[in-house]
Amino acid sequence: MRLTFKITLLFIGGICLIMAWQGYSRIDRESGLFEAQMRRDHYALGQPLAVMVGYAREEFGEDFALELVERSNQASERLRVRWVWAQRGTLERLRPEAPLELNGLLEQGRAVSWIDRDQVEAGRLYTYVPVVVEGGRIGAVELSESFEREQAYVRASKWRIMWTTLLMLLMAAGLATVTGLLFIARPVDRLVARARAIGQGDLKSPLVLEGHGELSVLAREMNLMSGQLAEASEKLEDETAARIAALQQLRHVDRLKTVGTLAAGLAHELGTPLNVISMRSAMIEDGEVEGDEVTRNARIISEQTERITRIIRQLMDFARVRHLSKTRLEVGPVVEQAIELIRPLAEKAQVQMALQAEAQAFASDVDADQLTQVLTNLLVNALHACRGQGGGEVRVDLGAVRRRHPELEDAPERDFVRVEVSDDGVGMSPEALEQIFEPFFTTKAVGEGSGLGLSVSYGIVREHGGWIEVTSIEGQGSTFGVYLPIEERE
């Protein structure tokens, strides 16, 4: 609609300029014609009157001639006629209204005209027709006429031009508005609506504009573009789905690898309750216990069975394939669960594990299973780093920090929960640190690591809006820091 308004204004402005130029030219031309006609009328009347006045002076005297001039003056309402003398020193009532410079022309016997524009009224045209009288003295018949008729005609012309212009403007505005709405505004509105629909993801609804104009061509090109975008979007969706599937598969493979690592530690964890169950069941079977002892041993067997079930369930839950499902929850319990999963493996490797957490609880939008996978991966790597040192210690620190996201430009400062996993193992070289998150890169011996764990973990943390930082000194140990955005608890 704004384009139609602009086009209408352009039409109106153009018409105004054309009509103004035409009106000015017409009024100027007609004014010139009007003045020329007045001059001709003055000469046509003045020349015979001058002859008659000259003849009357010669035949009947000056008084008769002046009476003739006066009667001529009274005979016309518009035209004023007087007798004047061209020479200087004449009485004021007989002096011409024209400037003295024109007297020279009169003395030469030439008729002259002069326009007085300085009068309060519309101005007057003065015409002087010379008359040579006795003694060679030069007189003249002065004819003067007001331009009032011309001014009235000009005013009427201006009003006619103004009303004509106004009518043309109204017609042009109406025509431009209707034309703009039909051929510009509505098609443009449809193009805008289609562009917004494309921006919102609707790539399947074509826009049809009849005709062969520029807007129709634009609509066809927009349909072609949306079709190409739809094809590219479908291709991107397929590639994204394949990438996600591959990523999920890699994460599951890494999870199963961790499960295999944990299984070795769980063998010892399961051995104790199984021995208790075997011993207590043998005592009941052999009749070594009776009465309340049987009940107590059965209860012990039940407790150990529940313990085994809980351990196996934790392992199965960890190994199960899951899709990303974020929930706002406290990070502390997830960290504790990951430590409990790794603790049997740490005891087997004779590595001490310590958790240091701030008293305040920190909530974040996380997938508990995937965060557990990240933490168990870091903990297993820390155990492997300490294993070659004949023992060691793995420390887990849970706290909060206020920082900017290092991977996002112009990111504001905000609060992040920080989970640091530190070990006093072998550490890493600067060269290894540069490649630590690349897929299939590992510092472990052949057969002990796939090189996917840290890459998968980094991808999971990035999906949660965070990042992982690493510091390591060769021969002194490494620290992996997981940073996740802190959210208000619900």
Q: Are residues 12 and 118 in the same domain?
A: yes
Secondary structure (DSSP) of 364-394: EEE-HHHHHHHHHHHHHHHHHHHHTTTS-EE
Token representation of residue 17: 């300029």
pLDDT tens-place string over residues 303-352 = 778 777 766 765 665 555 556 678 889 999 999 988 988 888 888 888 88
Q: Are residues 303 and 385 in the same domain?
A: no
Radius of gyration of the chain (CA): 56
CA pair distance 104, 133, nearest whole angstrom: 17
Residue (of 327, 331, 311, 467) closest to 399 by Cα position: 331
Is 198 a member of any domain?
no
Is 192 a member of any domain?
no
Token representation of residue 322: 């899951």
Residues 93 and 123 sit within 8 Å (Cβ to Cβ):
no
Instruction: Return the pLDDT at 422.
Output: 93
pLDDT tens-place string over residues 115-151 = 887 655 668 888 888 888 776 777 888 888 888 877 7
| DSSP for residue 261 | H
Is 182 a member of any domain?
no
pLDDT tens-place string over residues 432-477 = 888 777 765 566 554 445 556 787 788 889 889 999 999 998 888 8
Average pLDDT estimate for 377-393: 80
Task: Based on DSSP, count helices (H) and strands (E) in the chain, helices before strands.
Answer: 11, 11
Secondary structure (DSSP) of 168-228: HHHHHHHHHHHHHIIIIIHHHHHHHHHHHHHHTT--S------SSSHHHHHHHHHHHHHHH
* CATH, residue 62: 3.30.450.20
* CATH, residue 229: 1.10.287
Average pLDDT estimate for 188-209: 81
Is 258 a member of any domain?
yes
Strands 352-357 and 393-403: parallel
Residues 342 and 373 sit within 8 Å (Cβ to Cβ):
no
Secondary structure (DSSP) of 151-167: HHHHHHHHHHHHHHHHH
Q: Are residues 408 and 435 in the same domain?
A: yes
Please count the structural domains in the chain.
3
Q: pTM for this one? A: 0.45
What's the one-letter identity of residue 400? A
Q: Are residues 316 and 329 in the same domain?
A: no
Report in angstroms the alpha-carbon separations of 278 from 159, 274, 282, 296: 120, 6, 6, 15
CA pair distance 52, 195, nearest whole angstrom: 90
Is 73 a member of any domain?
yes
Using the structure block, give the residue that is written with the tokens 């352009």. 10
Q: Are residues 299 and 331 in the same domain?
A: no
Q: Are residues 315 and 332 in the same domain?
A: no
Is 166 a member of any domain?
no
Domain that holds residue 378: 325-490
Would you tell me how many other CB atoms lie within 10 Å of the CB of residue 43?
15
Average pLDDT estimate for 372-388: 84
Residues 151 and 141 sit within 8 Å (Cβ to Cβ):
no
Is 250 a member of any domain?
yes
* CATH, residue 344: 3.30.565.10
Is 79 a member of any domain?
yes
Token representation of residue 191: 């193009």
Q: Are residues 302 and 223 in the same domain?
A: yes
Q: Are residues 329 and 312 in the same domain?
A: no
